[in-house]
Structure 1
Amino acid sequence: MKFVVLCFLWAITITTSEQFTTYARAMNHVGISVTDIDAVLAWYHDVLGFTVLIAPVEIAVNNSTPMGSLLSQMYPPEMKRVKMAHMSSGNGVGLELFQFIDPPTRRPNTTSFEYSRAGLFHICVTDPEPENLVRRIVETGGKQISPVLTVFPGEIYQAVYTLDPFGNLVEIMATSYERQMSNRDPNVTSQISDPTITSRPSKSQQLSTSSVLQKIIAKN
């Protein structure tokens, strides 16, 4: 009897270890490559109030240091030197800054934002008074891209697009993302006239997510 119980427990352990649980992961940090890490660190500290966790340090990407050895396993062999710094936002999400030295980071176009380019589009910070932060951003070399807009008619939720002085798109929202976007009428959220199209996925769309993921995995 004991042998049967042990076999049953062993089978449960194996099955459990092979299962992958999907749940809402916490956002840990965002990494941004820059051309002047000291200037970026100072701006994000002085204007957005981010906390400096680790000041900029230059690292040789080789086996001479533990961090250099780690980076040498993450990046292609042509990368030789990099500066890194680490910051934290008001809710604990990290901002990791990279200035690639050899080969050097290329400066982006700071005159406009490339909204049609695939990939990381923008970061967003929360400030209950967006106008004041926009004014500070402009005073310190950034740009205001859009007006301060009311997201939903008749409500307090506001948002505005800005560029930092280094060409990165920074959105400002007056409230948290969950508060602004949760429990919305899909027809209001989508702001479209076709009632057959909604911003919330139907049950069939939800069920098809796994098949879409399988296609992405197969393609790559």
Structure 2
Amino acid sequence: MTARLDHVGVSVPDLTVAVAWYREALGLTEERAFAVPGTDLRGVMLRHHSGYRVELLHRPQAAPGLLADSPLEAAGTLGYGHLCLAVDTADEVDSEFARLVAAGAGVRMSPRPAPRPGGRMAFVSDPFGNLIELINRFD
């Protein structure tokens, strides 16, 4: 079997706000909006020019889930932990971190060396507390 990641789905409490933030902060474009017939589930599929997708999902009565303050806390709960975006250089970890924070992202882990030699990483959160990692693996 040959498989590749197509998208990550994120449940959000406000679809309009989430779409606007992900479009602005991550440079995503809307592929399509949808509603699942017979349910209250609505969503929007967003795509980055590099090919990855983020599917934002909304149900009005959805219950809050994990809102981790750090990647370590997220790893202490089974299930979705974070979305990770790779950048080309270690300097881009810092510049993208600053850009996302300026766009309203929450600071969860400031840029620092990654556990592997030569790498750099940082964590932010979207306006709803979902973790987003920035990583450089190739310096």
- The TM-score range, normalised by the shorter chain, is 0.7 to 0.9
For 2:101, the aligned partner's letter is V
For 2:103, the aligned partner's letter is T
Cα distance between partner residues in 1 of 2:40 and 2:81: 26
Q: Which residue is 2:62 aligned to?
A: 105
Q: Secondary structure at the match of 2:85?
A: strand
User: Against the structure 1 CA distance between its residues 122 and 60, is the aligned structure 2 distance closer, same or farther, given a 3 Å change threshold?
Assistant: closer
User: Against the structure 1 CA distance between its residues 165 and 108, is the aligned structure 2 distance closer, same or farther, given a 3 Å change threshold?
Assistant: farther
Cα distance between partner residues in 1 of 2:66 and 2:82: 15
Q: Which residue is 1:166 aligned to?
A: 128
Correspondences of 1:189-208 after superposition (within 5 Å): none
Answering whether residue 79 of structure 2 is matched by residue 119 of structure 1, we say yes
Cα distance between partner residues in 1 of 2:103 and 2:68: 15
Partners of 2:106 and 2:129 within 8 A in 1:
no
Q: Secondary structure at the match of 1:159?
A: strand
Q: Which residue is 1:150 aligned to?
A: 113
Q: Deviations over 1:140-199 (max 9, x none)?
A: 33222223122244x3x2111111111111000134xxx58xxxxxxxxxxxxxxxxxxx
Partners of 1:29 and 1:94 within 8 A in 2:
yes
Provide the identity percentage: 24
Residue-pair matches, total: 132
User: Against the structure 1 CA distance between its residues 110 and 121, is the aligned structure 2 distance closer, same or farther, given a 3 Å change threshold?
Assistant: closer
Cα distance between partner residues in 1 of 2:11 and 2:68: 18
- Which has the larger Rg? 1
Answering whether residue 40 of structure 2 is matched by residue 81 of structure 1, we say yes
Q: What is the RMSD of the two structures over their aligned residues, measured on CA atoms?
A: 2.3
Cα distance between partner residues in 1 of 2:2 and 2:112: 29
1:123 deviation in Å? 0.6
Partners of 1:35 and 1:106 within 8 A in 2:
no
Cα distance between partner residues in 1 of 2:49 and 2:67: 26
Answering whether residue 12 of structure 2 is matched by residue 34 of structure 1, we say yes
Q: Deviations over 1:10-35 (max 9, x none)?
A: xxxxxxxxxxxxx3411111111111
For 1:132, the aligned partner's letter is S
Partners of 2:85 and 2:132 within 8 A in 1:
yes
Structure 2 spans left out of the alignment, 5+ residues? none
Structure 1 spans left out of the alignment, 5+ residues? 1-22, 63-79, 181-220
TM-score, scaled to structure 2: 0.80
TM-score, scaled to structure 1: 0.53
